[in-house]
Structure 1
């Protein structure tokens, strides 16, 4: 049995002026090495839940543990350096080259220059970007898909045990999105890391996650394998999601 990577204990969060909590009494355990997709519609609390893991948001109540240790006792900046974070907007620094963007956290951690260079080259190669060709380019000289690859490489630069991904492919075209999904699966298979990916796309959630966390109105509707979610939905909202995906499938069948 693998060790517990992340544990939520009765975690709740309500934003000022909101009528109800963004996250309400969430308790669950994520094992080391899992790829968890967090699925739900806009405003369901999935991004809030993700951002509490690296303390971009603080819970109002409850507790989050990483590898058995409460994150509330850690320095937020030091905690974030140990957790990779990828967002839809990528967030690359426009005045820095690709190589400089990827090397930011290792430099903060005072790695040796030779080790940093080696790591940057290895990660760009892994992301399908030749270091010689792309290392000296600036973000504006890259396509959206290439920028997202650099964002992934940067998030993995300091070799974090946990990677958080907040709808990283949401702004990309369907073909690029599918290619990057495949590459992300390959990265996860090759690296013993715990991935949490937020998405509102049920097909993406089913394709990537070895377990899926379905949320609605701040609460967990169901947490299970793709097969369990599809074959045994435990909540009306989950049933609606599955029905919607099957209706799309039928449309394709009608057109073929």
Structure 2
């Protein structure tokens, strides 16, 4: 049995301009090495929940623990340097090259120059990009898919135990998106890190997740394996999601 990586204890989030919960009394635990996908429509609370793990948002109520430690007691900057974070917009620094982008946090942590160079080369190979061809380029010289690979490499630079990914493939074309999904599964399988991956795409969620967390109106409707969710949807909302996916399958089946 793997140790517990992340725990949510009665976690809620409200904002001053709203009387409604953005995240509504969430209680769950995630084991080390799981690939958790968080599925929901816009406004469901999935990104808010994700951002509370690295304290970009703090809960209004409740406790979040990482490997047993209450993160409210941890300096947010130190916490974030131990957690990888990848977003849809990538967020690469345009004025520095790819090698320097990947090395951002190791340099802040004052790693040895040779160690940084070796880590950059290792990470570029991991995400399927040739070091000599790419490390001197600038973000504007890369395709969207290549930029997203660099964003992933940068997030992995300090070998974090936890990776947070907020719709990282949402802006990519369908073929690139499928290829990067496969790459991400390979990376996760080889590292045994804990991944939390936000998406609004049900096919992506069920393809990637060892377990899928389905959110609606701030609540976790169901948190289980893809197979269990498909065979035993917890409520009408989950059932409607499954049916919508099946309708898409029938549409494509009618065209072949």
Q: Give TM-score scaled by structure 2 length.
A: 0.99
Query: 1:115-169 CA deviation, whole Å, 9 max, x = no partner?
Result: 1100000001111111100000000000000000000000000000000000000
Shift of residue 71 of structure 1?
A: 0.2
Question: Distance between the aligned counterparts of 1:46 and 1:157, measured in 2?
Answer: 25
Question: Distance between the aligned counterparts of 2:3 and 2:27, measured in 1?
Answer: 17
Count residues in correspondence.
256
Query: 1:19-50 CA deviation, whole Å, 9 max, x = no partner?
Result: 30100100000000000000000000000000
Shift of residue 111 of structure 1?
A: 1.1
Shift of residue 95 of structure 1?
A: 0.3
Query: 1:189-214 CA deviation, whole Å, 9 max, x = no partner?
Result: 00020000000000000000000000
**DSSP-derived class of the 1:22 partner:** strand
Which residue in the other structure is 1:50 paired with? 50
What's the RMSD between the two structures over aligned residues? 0.5
Question: Distance between the aligned counterparts of 2:125 and 2:23, measured in 1?
Answer: 38
Question: Distance between the aligned counterparts of 2:116 and 2:226, measured in 1?
Answer: 38
Question: Distance between the aligned counterparts of 1:245 and 1:192, measured in 2?
Answer: 29
Question: Distance between the aligned counterparts of 2:147 and 2:21, measured in 1?
Answer: 34
Gap runs ≥5 in structure 1: none
Question: Distance between the aligned counterparts of 2:19 and 2:126, measured in 1?
Answer: 45
Which residue in the other structure is 1:162 paired with? 162
Which residue in the other structure is 1:101 paired with? 101
Runs of 4+ in structure 1 deviating by more than 6 angstroms, as ranges, are none
**DSSP-derived class of the 2:41 partner:** coil
Query: 1:81-117 CA deviation, whole Å, 9 max, x = no partner?
Result: 0000000000000001000000011111111111110
Gap runs ≥5 in structure 2: none
Which residue in the other structure is 2:41 paired with? 41
Which residue in the other structure is 2:140 paired with? 140
Q: Give TM-score scaled by structure 1 length.
A: 0.99
Which residue in the other structure is 2:227 paired with? 227
